[in-house]
Structures are given as structure tokens and as C-alpha cells.
Homo-oligomer: A and B are copies of this chain.
Amino acid sequence: NSALDAAVPAGEPPAALHDAMRYALLAGGKRVRPALCLAACVVSGGREAWAMAPAAAVEMVHTMSLVHDDLPCMDDDDLRRGKATCHVVYGEPIAVLAGDALLALAFEHMASVDSYPPDVDPAKHAARVVRSIGELARCIGSEGLVAGQVVDLEMTGSTETVPLDRLEYIHLHKTAALLEASVVIGAIIGGGSEEQIERLRKYARSIGLLFQVVDDILDVTKSSEELGKTAGKDLASDKTTYPKLLGLEKSREFAEKLLSDAKEQLADFDKEKAAPLLYLANYIAYRQN
């Protein structure tokens, strides 16, 4: 949180832009992505501090995608994390631009030479940084977040039921892609072997889908107050969700399966160092909002 707080100056001109960026970024998210990034760095042999700038970056990308998804021309959401959304407070133009600036700031953080670990050869680290930036860039565009949002928008207008593979496409892109990138970036920066990086990528894919299945379940079973956003919105707008397609019980079983798949990938890592990733998988599975 303090890294994110330090990332955007308060009040400096253009003040409206910085205020909107800070408002969206510091609205009290759960910081799951930064936590995954830091934990993956440690389990791969690095130190937490090495991944602090990338951890801030993945949260900036996440925030940017929320700000743009909430826009009137997109999902038109007024409430996010229990507060008015960015465009409601600062207007639509500033919300679009704050999202753009957050995306740029994320890459600025990724490329920040000040954050190079003092105990790693800078040339070796630079190569890891370049690879990480490639991972982050890919998970945003037409293979990631944006692609998921495009297909989600297409589906929202349609009256037919979305088939399971389509729903999975949306979630893999809208949610899992950035969770995967968060983990993989941590693993790369931490100096993990190719085998470790691939195992952590599989872990991340499972918890990425898990994250969304649990989100869908919570939307059916919790109130708006508990969630900090409009509950039942998916049902009300007749949006396809896992509970709607599979029923609540089968959705829960699917979640259990994904959780055990994720845990399996951690088996060969140092137990103590893998503990935070195990904790985060359980947290994602059993969270209440």
C-alpha cells in the first residue's frame, strides 16, 4: 500500500488526473495480485524487495482495467469496493485518462532501474525485467484483459445462454491472465528456473479460474453490503455465471478441484517458502467478499 501511495504524487498538476489515479488505486483493494507477485518471487529464490515495483505495477494494471470496465460506455458501474467509481467522482474524460496513465505508470515501475536488487548482476536482472514486461504486456491486450472484456461485452448484449467454453474464455482473459502474469513475473524476477516458472504458471491458471468461480458464487450468496459492490448484478442482468450454468453445488465442486490442482503445483517447492502461495490459494477459495 505504501508503494502504491508513493507512486502517484498527491495534488501536483495536473491535480485532477493525479487525484483520480490515487482515488482508484488507493480505494482499498485486496492486493491479491501484488501479494502473489511477491510470494512467487520468494518461492523462486528471490527476496520480496526485488519484486516490489512489479507488484505495484500489476495492481496498477488491475486498477486501470476496473476504471475502464466501469465506464458508462462499458459495464456502467457506479459502485466499486463500496465507493463511487472513478468516472462518477471525476467525470468520464478523466477516468479514461487516469486509466491510460495508470497503465503507463505500471510499465514505468516495471522498468524502474532504482528498484534493481543490489545483490544481482544488473545485466542479468535487466534480461529478467525485459521478459517480465513482455509477460505483463501480453496479459493486457488482445490475449488478455482487453480480449476478455470485449467478449464479455458481446455476451452481455446477447439473449442466448453463454456456453461454458465461452464463459471460461472470458474469465481466463478478464481475470486469470493478470493473476498468471503476477505470479510469473514474480517467478522471473526471483530468478526461478524454467521448470519452476512453468509450475507456478499452472498454479496461477488454476487460482485464476478459481478466483472467478468464487466471485460468481459470492454474487449469488452474498449481499451488496458484504461485497462492497452491487450483488446479484450478474443474475439481474441475466449474465451467465458458473452457478447459473452448473448450479451452486457443482460450482463449489469445481472450485475445490481447481484449489487442489493449484496446491499440487506447489508440492515440489520449499515448504516454508511456498507457504504464502498456499495461503493465497486458500484465501481465494474461501474468501467471503
Contact = CB atoms under 8 A, between A and B. Distances in A.
A151 B108 contact: no
A122 interface: yes
Given A93-B74, A103-B100, A113-B130, A138 B108 contact: yes
Interface stretch (A11-19, A25-33, A44-52, A258-266): A11-19
A126 interface: yes
Contacts of A164: none
Given A104-B103, A123-B124, A133-B107, A150 B113 contact: no
Q: Which DSSP category, helix, strand, loop or mixed, fits chain A's interface? A: helix
Interface stretch (A141-149, A205-213, A244-252): A141-149
Interface in A60-104: 64, 68, 71, 73-74, 91-94, 96-97, 99-104
Interface of A: 8-9, 13-14, 16-18, 21, 64, 68, 71, 73-74, 91-94, 96-97, 99-108, 110-113, 122-124, 126-127, 129-131, 133-134, 136-138, 140-142, 144-147, 149-151, 153-154
B96 A71 contact: yes
B73 A92 contact: yes
Nearest to A21: B142
What 6 A-B pairs are tightest by C-beta distance, nearest first? A123-B123, A108-B137, A104-B140, A104-B141, A126-B126, A111-B134
Contacts of A151: 13-14
Copies per complex of this chain = 2
Nearest to A121: B123
A184 to B, nearest CB: 14
Given A104-B103, A127-B123, A140-B104, A150 B111 contact: no
Contacts of A112: 134
A111 B131 contact: yes
A146 B97 contact: yes
23 contacts: A9-B142, A13-B151, A14-B154, A17-B142, A17-B147, A97-B150, A100-B141, A100-B145, A100-B146, A102-B141, A103-B140, A104-B137, A104-B138, A104-B144, A105-B137, A105-B141, A107-B136, A108-B137, A108-B138, A108-B141, A111-B130, A111-B133, A130-B130
A19 B270 CA distance: 47
